[in-house]
Amino acid sequence: MKTKSLLSVLAAAILITSCSKSENPNPVDPDPTPGVGKYIVAVTPIASTGVADYLVTSNSLDDGKVSIIGNGIEQDGTWRYYLSTNNKFFSFLYGQGNPGAVTAYNLENGKLKKLTNFQSETVAAFAAVNDDVLMAKMSRNLATPTHTWYRVNTNSLSIVGEGSMNALELANNGEIGYFSWLTQVGNKVYAPFFCIESSSFTTKYPNKAWVAVFSYPDMKLEKVFTDERTSYIGQYFTNGLGTVENGDIYAFSAANATSKRKDDPTKSEITTTNPSAILKISSGTTEFDKNYFFNVTEISGGYNIVNWTYVGGNNFIVSSKKKQSDGSYSAETTIAAVNVVDKTFKTVTGLPNASEIKSFTQRNNYSKKDGKIGYIGVNLKSGKSYVYKIDATAATATTGLEVEGGSITAIEHLD
């Protein structure tokens, strides 16, 4: 018994000497007033060690400052993808092969509140369809050419349906059809795809665009329509379709499909010869409009489009790359305002110098779709990040919310 009491005394001694030393300053919430609606900013910390984005909230994107130092919800995973639908915020973990957790949040008293975690397969495309989130997990291996899709109901927050398809049947050319994204159009799902020979993402068909049309919710393949004036629609993990107010759908192609090099098949190069372009799918049709063609390469003077955000009024804010003399595209990104009806391409002014910019936020930029304003994240090499407010009609940018501690990966909004 003596021994036991000695043990507990020493255990207590260990405990006392080990009072937690925290360097976490726990700063005061920079934004203490609870608002009706809130913006959610996902921030990847500067020194990422395979670490999650932190989620912070703000009442405004136009000014103020938020920080992830001592503040913010910590998430698991580095590659997180986000979607807001049914007034819920979904955070998907991309886990390459392994299932990962999807966390759903809503707003409660102006704070993000975790609703549930559920498991999901690693998907490379997902979209809100009715009250569901439709997700697709895709194969990159010709030996196992099966794509699987899942429907998550955003009310019950569980998987309510799933199925699979033969990835070789999409293009019917011996290559896997790999969805760049999924988009609800009426009661159908349009899925633009590109063709790949292997996980290196090369193709023998660099000058063609494909869109698969599926019924919903049973995801039966109804049709594949194509076009040979440009290259594939969208980018890997990027939505290449934009639906405007009158129901017409516009689709961009970056014209950057790659093929294996003839001299060294372990390397690849861009082999698309068609220009980067925007195509149109008129409302209610399942065809590309043969009478519409927006030659982006020509009108912009050598740029393509790799990503876009619709702000309403036929205006898109686009990320572009300039074509180099060797056929590749610049590493540097140029932000431009595009009007798909007027076929205009205007470089946005008022952004920091390109040499100071580390990256722009892709995919999850925000717009109220008022026909004019979009918000994009600009991450500077100095370590500072800002939300910039872009006026797509004037093609100008102004500084908004400052974000401390990392790079902005998503800007979302919940009511």
Choose between 108 and 245: whose C-beta lies nearer to other proteins: 108
Choose between 145 and 242: whose C-beta lies nearer to other proteins: 145
- Spatial separation of the C-alpha atoms in residues 292 and 282, rounded to whole Å: 10
Shortest Cβ distance from residue 158 to other proteins (Å)?
Answer: 4
Q: How many CB atoms lie within 10 A of CB 356?
A: 12
Choose between 175 and 248: whose C-beta lies nearer to other proteins: 175
3-state per-residue secondary structure call for 315-342: EEEEEECEECCCCCECCCCEEEEEECCC
Shortest Cβ distance from residue 217 to other proteins (Å)?
Answer: 16
CB 253, CB 279: distance < 8 Å? yes
Write the single-letter amino acid at 49.
T
272: which 2 tokens?
């698309």
Shortest Cβ distance from residue 146 to other proteins (Å)?
Answer: 4
Choose between 198 and 282: whose C-beta lies nearer to other proteins: 198
Shortest Cβ distance from residue 403 to other proteins (Å)?
Answer: 12
Nearest to 199 by CA among 224, 223, 167, 226: 167
Shortest Cβ distance from residue 35 to other proteins (Å)?
Answer: 17
Shortest Cβ distance from residue 73 to other proteins (Å)?
Answer: 5
Choose between 49 and 325: whose C-beta lies nearer to other proteins: 49
Residue that is written with structure tokens 């292997």 in the block: 198
Choose between 346 and 358: whose C-beta lies nearer to other proteins: 358
First-to-final CA distance of the chain: 62
Tell me the DSSP string of 253-314.
E----EEE-SS-TTSEEE---SPPEEEEE-TT-SS--TT--EEHHHHHTSB--SEEEEEETT
